[in-house]
Structure 1
Amino acid sequence: MTGPSANVLEISPSVADTAMADIVHATLSPDEFALFAQHANRRHFANGEVIFERGTAGRAMYVIAQGMVELDFGQEVLPKYLGMHEFFGELGLLIGNHLRSADARANGDVELLELDHSQFCSLIEHAPGLVAYFLRRTIMRVTSHEASLIRQLRRRNNELEAALDNLYSATSRLTHTEELVRTDELTGVSNRRGLSLYLQACRNQGRSPPQGLLLIDCDNFKQINDIYGHLVGDRVLQSVANVLRSIALRGDLACRLGGDEFCLVVADADRNTLQQRADFILSAMRGLVERSTQVPRACAVSIGATLLSPMDDWNHWYALADGALYRTKNAGGNGLTWHEPQATIQTG
């Protein structure tokens, strides 16, 4: 591990700050360099030659006598370039078999001083004061470097948390937007786009196609709007939607097709279960009408019912249910008609 080089330190005019800058300086003084040069091995490296690799165990430190060395820490950290009399790899010497934290390469022709443990012991014997000062600086550099790494990790953690929060917020907004796109704003049930996406999902996800369709139309809805106004008309539509939503099971879809026309697409149905759903809708709407005061809360509805063939598409299903609904309307509404050759109208 190497500490930050002197050129990245901010030195203030104060004596204390200047002393601290000297302590964490990565460059040997002339006296220190002369001492190290007396006891070290001199090694030469050509341009691009590897001095040591990241992750390998080291037992020696190096001082640059000539040239420049590149330290590549990887992991998106900018490389560091060291020049004359700067030292690196000191933890390999002081700790022994310390795993290198960077790849070290010669940047041009380089001459290095290499010191192992025995040579460092000779330094201590010859100049204990200089070596003690060097060790103090080294410890302070390591401490400063570790503190800097901790700050960077905390900053990156905060940035990551902020990014995750933004992603969650964006996902929530996207989900909400998707719901708005497929949901009728007034009633909260699906709109035509929601119906289209539902049918598409049935095809693309290998789900069984729906088996039953109820087409529902409000009776005399225009009259309610004309007499009581659109706000009352909106509440009536919301009442219809609430009834449909209450009986829609998992896999079903309640939808407002437009105006006062709704449908209930039933995933798993036979004639009996579809009849029960229609009877519930008719009964619930009649009950709401009976409990209304002077201002209507609901209205009677007409229903066209049909069982669905998986071989046909939505347009065909709709045409069958719409034909049955039309016959209910012609018979006075407030009832159910099945699509079948001899259609029968069931009224209250």
Structure 2
Amino acid sequence: MTGKVAANVCEQEAGIAQTAMAEIVHAVLSPGEFALFAQFGQQRRLPEGDHLFRRGHPGDTMYVIVSGAIELDFGEDLLVKTLGANEFFGELGLLIGDHPRSADARAVADSVVLELDNGDFQRLVERDPGLIAYFLRRTIMRVVSNEQVLIRQLRRRNHDLETALDNLYVTTHQLTHTRELVRTDELTGLHNRRGLALYLQECRAHQDGPPQGLLLIDCDRFKQVNDEHGHQAGDRVLQSVANILRSVATEADLACRLGGDEFCLLLRAADADSLQHAAEFIQSAVHGLMDRAHGLPHMCPISIGVSLLDPHTDWSEWYARADNALYQAKRLGGNRLHWSRAATATP
């Protein structure tokens, strides 16, 4: 036998086997089986729309359709099956007894079914054990096949769910990243003005209330750094200021680049002493970087306006007071801190 002929024979045998399996698994009674079942089953008429049973309810009977059509709805996103004449269902309830139904069974047309209980089935076994043995074999194979189909469906659903969760994670990550970009200054990584506005909104809703202290910081002679050394040098200066403010701020505080070479530091819990200490630390860190500079500058002098905050006023009032103090520091030559006259306590 040549390889081609052998392959054809194998394909024919596989086709015969598949046909035989389909006949075993398919839930249709042969004419002989139907005639035997009809001798012992009780006929029951179902108007269109009526239910034989509901999913999850226990049952101990099986059914054979004489005429009409019955729909089996397994729920969720599983397939809905519609059965016709000579097809049977519910056999696990008969064989196991009080087995929870796995589907809703509803007549989708005026129908007649044979209903068989355990006593009816015992009489079937006594009448033709060989035929019933073949029926049981088919039933078992059908249950196994249905379970395999269900497993594949569940695997597909799990895969779809994992894909959906992955997409949700990516989308959430993108939204979080976008939100951070919206509120973050690209050059320094500090909050920008929008981030400041959102922070102030969060403060109003927070039980600890608004921040208590504000440092308004401005670089002295920053334009000179840009003009003499280029904008990259200027960017390095701004990043150095940002790093110093970041090192001072706690999780509850906010360091922000307001724009250009102007920064602010809002301290959630502060008094005159802690504000003075924070401003002096910033000045000291700036001087340390300036002393270590060789060649291109990494820092320039800064001026700081310091203000304790009135919780009954808003940002515009806070800014105006700190800005007035900053103006006074600049007017006095810069490279210093100055307190707002409106501060409740001045060192």
- Which runs of 5 or more residues in structure 2 are unaligned? 1-12
Q: CA deviation at 1:76?
A: 3.8
C-alpha separation in 2, matches of 1:199 and 1:50: 61
Q: CA deviation at 1:39?
A: 2.0
- Which runs of 5 or more residues in structure 1 are unaligned? 1-11
Report the secondary structure of 2:243's partner residue.
helix
Is residue 2:45 matched to residue 1:44? yes
Residue 133 of structure 1 is matched in structure 2 by: 134
Residue 19 of structure 1 is matched in structure 2 by: 20
Residue 96 of structure 1 is matched in structure 2 by: 97
Percent of aligned pairs sharing the same letter: 62
Residue 278 of structure 1 is matched in structure 2 by: 279
Aligned residues: 333
Q: How do 1:28-39 and structure 2 match up within 5 A?
A: 28-39=29-40
Report the secondary structure of 1:14's partner residue.
helix
The TM-score, its normalising length taken from structure 2, stands at: 0.92
C-alpha separation in 1, matches of 2:180 and 2:208: 21
Residue 144 of structure 1 is matched in structure 2 by: 145
Q: CA deviation at 1:206?
A: 4.1
- Shifted more, 278-287 versus 50-59: the winner is 50-59
Q: CA deviation at 1:78?
A: 4.4
C-alpha separation in 2, matches of 1:82 and 1:309: 78
**1:249-308 residue CA offsets vs partner (Å, 9 max, x unmatched):** 131110100000111111111111100000001110011001000111111101111111
**1:294-342 residue CA offsets vs partner (Å, 9 max, x unmatched):** 1111111011111110111111111111111111111111101111179
C-alpha separation in 2, matches of 1:323 and 1:46: 87
Residue 257 of structure 2 is matched in structure 1 by: 256
Q: CA deviation at 1:79?
A: 3.1
Q: How do 1:56-75 and structure 2 match up within 5 A?
A: 56-75=57-76
**1:101-154 residue CA offsets vs partner (Å, 9 max, x unmatched):** 122222332221122222212222222222121111110110010111111111
**1:63-116 residue CA offsets vs partner (Å, 9 max, x unmatched):** 111111122222243432211000011111111111111222223322211222
- Shifted more, 84-93 versus 152-161: the winner is 152-161
Residue 194 of structure 2 is matched in structure 1 by: 193
Residue 157 of structure 1 is matched in structure 2 by: 158
Q: How do 1:203-282 and structure 2 match up within 5 A?
A: 203-282=204-283
- Shifted more, 109-118 versus 233-242: the winner is 109-118
C-alpha separation in 1, matches of 2:39 and 2:220: 106
C-alpha separation in 1, matches of 2:113 and 2:331: 102
Residue 340 of structure 2 is matched in structure 1 by: 339
Residue 110 of structure 2 is matched in structure 1 by: 109
- 8 A contact 2:305–2:339 mirrored in 1: yes
The amino acid across from 2:16 in the alignment is: V
